[in-house]
Amino acid sequence: MVTASIAGLGAALPAAYDQRTLWEEYFRGHFAGSRAAERIFAGAGVQRRHSVTDPFAEDVSGWSTGERMRRYAERAPSLGHRAVTDALADAGVGADEIGMLAVASCTGYSTPGLDIQLATSLRLRPDAQRLLVGHMGCHAALPALGAVADFVVARGRPAVLLCLELTSLHLQPATADAQQVVTHALFGDAAVALVLRPDEARAPGLRVVDVAARTDTGSSGHMTWEVTDLGFRMGLSPEVPDVLAEHIGPLVKEVLARHGLDIADVRAWAVHPGGPRILDTVEDGLGLAPPALAASRAVLAEHGNCSSATVLLVLRELLRHGPPPGPLVAVAFGPGLTLYAALLEPTTEPEVR
């Protein structure tokens, strides 16, 4: 039976900025020296973030949505190209072999879009299919992964998934709203790409076993992404962790049970680091020991929350020394309020030493 496996991964990041310096040299003034805002920045679990805008040289908060989309169109294609090229090289797959390119992004739009621009710059074949996954937010990587894996299985051809988010373009005007301060303390920019291919040859990689979702429509107002005249404005209720606490255990246990597994069988966790409280909630809800989410906390510290790209950055962190010796579960959350989980497993057995 042909299944789809992750064979390569690549990332591209814009310039990095120190969190403390961001506060001292920009956000302290932006939030009028608020002590509450300073505490939020200090407690965000973020040490560095990446940004396509230089907050010390240009104040994006007053830009129109049109201006922000023009910057997206200027910067996104080169970042996306770098991430995909690195992923193809990591997989040992040529661009002319790719049957589908899927792009997930909720931070910028144009037509012809990023998918078409990349099809051109990467020199994909004219018959390569394209899929744009837009405005799904932080969990978009996992439904997109499911769609791309289904293509690989159905068509028997390699495919690419790119998650590219430039959240820095949506810096909002100054406000006393604590949840807006939280948003501004957390988010950063990143582009991450995966190459999936049929794994019938059983080359080293991670097989996509299952993807599952759970949506609580009664809490749909807890996480929003509103298009305004001054960019996209995030709404983030403090009740989000409570909703996650209710659903995270049942979702993960359900997808594992379908394959005769339980939480104790999972050897690695790629959890979207929406913030320190989110990670604490997942840790408690699944009964995990603190080291289980070390990769998620490391990514939060190094990159912040990069929306859909973040869970793939966590996966990259986990794979630095090769696939885990057993099942891996990826989890992400977004508007809906929606939880997604993906079950992955190594395509080859670990060496016995």
Spatial CA neighbour of 107 closest among 220, 237, 235, 233: 233
Q: Domain check: are 46 and 148 in the same one?
A: yes
Q: Domain check: are 341 and 255 in the same one?
A: yes
Containing structural domain, residue 96: 4-198
The first and second tokens of residue 347, run together, are 């395509």
Say how far apart CA 341 and CA 343 lie, in whole Å.
7
Q: Is residue 61 part of a domain?
A: yes
Q: Domain check: are 210 and 179 in the same one?
A: no
Q: One-letter amino acid identity for 143?
A: P
Q: Domain check: are 192 and 213 in the same one?
A: no
The sign of the torsion formed by the CA atoms of 50, 46, 297, 236 equals negative
Q: Is residue 12 part of a domain?
A: yes
Are the C-beta atoms of 143 and 213 separated by less than 8 Å? yes
Q: Select from 149, 175, 198 the last residue of a domain.
A: 198
Question: Rounded to the nearest 5°, which phi and psi values hold at 274?
Answer: -65, -15
Q: Is residue 352 part of a domain?
A: no
Q: Domain check: are 170 and 260 in the same one?
A: no
pLDDT of residue 147: 98
pLDDT of residue 209: 97
Are the C-beta atoms of 339 and 202 separated by less than 8 Å? no
Q: Domain check: are 59 and 174 in the same one?
A: yes
Say how far apart CA 80 and CA 85 lie, in whole Å.
8
Q: Is residue 211 part of a domain?
A: yes
Q: Domain check: are 190 and 222 in the same one?
A: no
Q: Domain check: are 273 and 159 in the same one?
A: no
Q: Domain check: are 190 and 212 in the same one?
A: no
pLDDT of residue 349: 60
Q: Select from 177, 198, 219 the last residue of a domain.
A: 198
Q: Domain check: are 223 and 263 in the same one?
A: yes
Q: Domain check: are 12 and 104 in the same one?
A: yes
Give, for all 353 residues of the chain, the pLDDT tens digit.
789 999 999 999 999 999 999 999 999 999 999 999 999 999 999 999 999 999 999 999 999 999 999 999 999 999 999 999 999 999 999 999 999 999 999 999 989 999 999 999 999 999 999 999 999 999 999 999 999 999 999 999 999 999 999 999 999 999 989 999 999 999 999 999 999 999 865 567 899 999 999 999 999 999 999 999 999 999 989 999 999 999 999 999 999 999 999 999 999 999 999 999 999 999 999 999 989 999 999 999 999 999 999 999 999 999 998 899 999 999 999 999 999 999 999 987 644 44
DSSP three-state, residue 287: coil
Q: Select from 198, 228, 258 the last residue of a domain.
A: 198
The sign of the torsion formed by the CA atoms of 99, 349, 339, 13 equals negative
Q: Is residue 351 part of a domain?
A: no
Spatial CA neighbour of 164 closest among 340, 300, 55, 12: 12
Say how far apart CA 99 and CA 197 lie, in whole Å.
10
Q: What is the CATH number of the domain that holds 279?
A: 3.40.47.10
Spatial CA neighbour of 104 closest among 272, 320, 308: 308
Catalytic residue among 106, 138, 163, 306: 138
Say how far apart CA 201 and CA 195 lie, in whole Å.
15
The first and second tokens of residue 225, run together, are 């992404």
Say how far apart CA 80 and CA 325 lie, in whole Å.
31
Alpha carbon of residue 294 to chain centroid: 17
Are the C-beta atoms of 146 and 343 separated by less than 8 Å? no
Residue pLDDT, tens place only, 50-64: 999 999 999 999 999
Q: Is residue 173 part of a domain?
A: yes
Radius of gyration for the alpha carbons in the chain, expressed in angstroms and rounded:
19
Q: Domain check: are 191 and 220 in the same one?
A: no
Residue carrying structure tokens 């059983």: 202
Split into its structural domains, the chain has a count of 2
Is position 306 annotated as part of the catalytic site?
A: no
Q: Is residue 91 part of a domain?
A: yes
